[in-house]
Structures are given as structure tokens and as C-alpha cells.
Amino acid sequence: MEQEDIASRRSRRKALAEQAGVARMAWVTVCCLTLFACGVYMGLLSVKEPAPPVLIPDYTIPAGTDGTSDPVLSPTDLSPTVPAGASYEEDPGQGTPKGNEDEEATETLAIVADLNDLAWPCFGQITREPGWYYSQDLGEWHYLSGVQITGDSRREVRAALPGTVKSIDTDPLWGKVIVLDHGSGILTEYGGIDIPALREGDQVAQGQTIARLLGETLTFRITKNGDAENPADYLTQAR
């Protein structure tokens, strides 16, 4: 009987040991699964949203250019047309043709602009759209009525539409600014540029280089009949 009791106790101890081993294995398995699930969850949280696509402008070379140099309007393109039946006679004083009745024939170069034909003024990515921003340099808030295009420094700035140089001024916030008049009440402004090789009254073709940037950011603004337009609405279509 005593030997049977000893054997029975040993059997119970062995069963308890096996049960304890199974419990430990189950506990270790649950811990491993928990750690794995936590790792997967943290990994999903650490995934960043994809960066916005870089808007790369597609410059269209104006007709009549070979793409190796900036298109420039030649003096012959701006010469007046002699009316039918009139003989061309050089006037040393005025430099204009005379008709048979000494009437001057003049022709006004008309510029009709359409914002739907807007081209990118430079390569880069739109980093700011119209809104209020704080200037660290001036220590005050200011409203940006256009967009800022950021990219490589010293890159070329091109005319977004054909037009005439209206003014070249200096802004305390944007630096040197050139304004182009495109007719139809449309003006475009290019801020943050170097000293341009143009003067007021010069005519420019679409895509013609008008200046270079001093830094990495171009401030580009559009007004139509005195009201500010968001350039991003048209530049997105011009990709």
C-alpha cells in the first residue's frame, strides 16, 4: 500500500509539472503574439503620408524660335504697315512712312491675353498659396495674394504670358519685382528676382527669360482688372 501511495504521488507531481510546463508555454506564446501585434501597430503609425507631387512646368517654345535662345521681337516685327496705294518714303525726322497725301500709317501692337494659356514662370514646386503668413524679417503678419514657387537658386524666370514691362520696383518684403502688362486687364508680378536685363516698355514673348532669381523662391502674383487671382488654379492646368 505504501508503495502504491508513493507511485500515486509521483504520478500526480508529474502531471502537475506537465500542466505547469504547458501553462508557461502558453504564457510565452501570448506574450510573443502581443509584442508582435504592438510592433505591427507601431509600424503602421510610423508610415508617413506620401509627399505631394512636384509640379513640373512644361515650357512651350514660342513659334519662330529654335529653343536655343530667348525669343526676341525684332524691330521689323513692330514696323508699321504701309497702306495700299502709298509709297514708302523714309522721314529723317520721324522715321515713319509717308503716304501719297503725307498721312502717317501706324499700327498698334494689340496683346490679347488668356489666363488659360498661362505658362510656368520657373521650374519648382508651389510651396505657398494665398493666405496670411508671419514674416520673421519684418516681425509682422502679411497677406500673400499669389503663390511662392521654390526650387533651385539662380534659376531663370520666364514671362508667363506675352506682354510689356509695366514697372520694375523694389518691395520691402519680396525684393526686386518686375510687373508685366498682358492686356485685357491682366498683370503678372515676379518677386525675388535679380536685376532684370529689361526696361519699362520692353515687349516680351511668352516663355522669354526676363530675370534670374536671387534665392530659391519666386513670388508670383496675378491680378485681373485689379482683383487678385490664384495662380495655382491655372498653373495646375499647365503641367
- Same domain, yes or no: 99 and 161: no
Domain with 18, as residue range(s), is 1-47
In a domain, 8, yes or no: yes
Q: How many domains does the chain have?
A: 3
pLDDT in tens, 197-225: 789 999 999 999 999 998 899 999 999 99
In total, the chain counts a number of residues equal to 239
- Alpha-carbon gap, residue 164 to 181, rounded angstroms: 5
pLDDT band of residue 2 (cuts 50, 70, 90) is low
In a domain, 54, yes or no: no
Name the residue with cell 514691362: 165
- What's the pTM value of the predicted model, to 2 decimals? 0.52
In a domain, 201, yes or no: yes
Residue 86 has pLDDT above 50, yes or no: no
In a domain, 67, yes or no: no
Sign of CA dihedral 152, 157, 158, 161: positive
More confident residue, 161 or 13: 161
Mean pLDDT of 172-188: 92
In a domain, 70, yes or no: no
Report phi then psi at 61, rounded to 5. Answer: -70, 125
Residue 158 has pLDDT above 90, yes or no: yes
Q: pLDDT at position 106, please? A: 31
Say if CB 156 and CB 196 are below 8 A apart.
no
Q: Which three cell numbers stand for residue 85?
A: 496705294
In a domain, 205, yes or no: yes
Q: Which three cell numbers stand for residue 194?
A: 535679380
Please, what is the average pLDDT of the chain?
74
Percent of the chain at pLDDT exceeding 90:
31
Q: pLDDT at position 79, please? A: 40
Residue 173 has pLDDT above 60, yes or no: yes
In a domain, 68, yes or no: no
CATH number, position 119:
2.70.70.10
- Same domain, yes or no: 128 and 229: yes
Say if CB 169 and CB 218 are below 8 A apart.
no
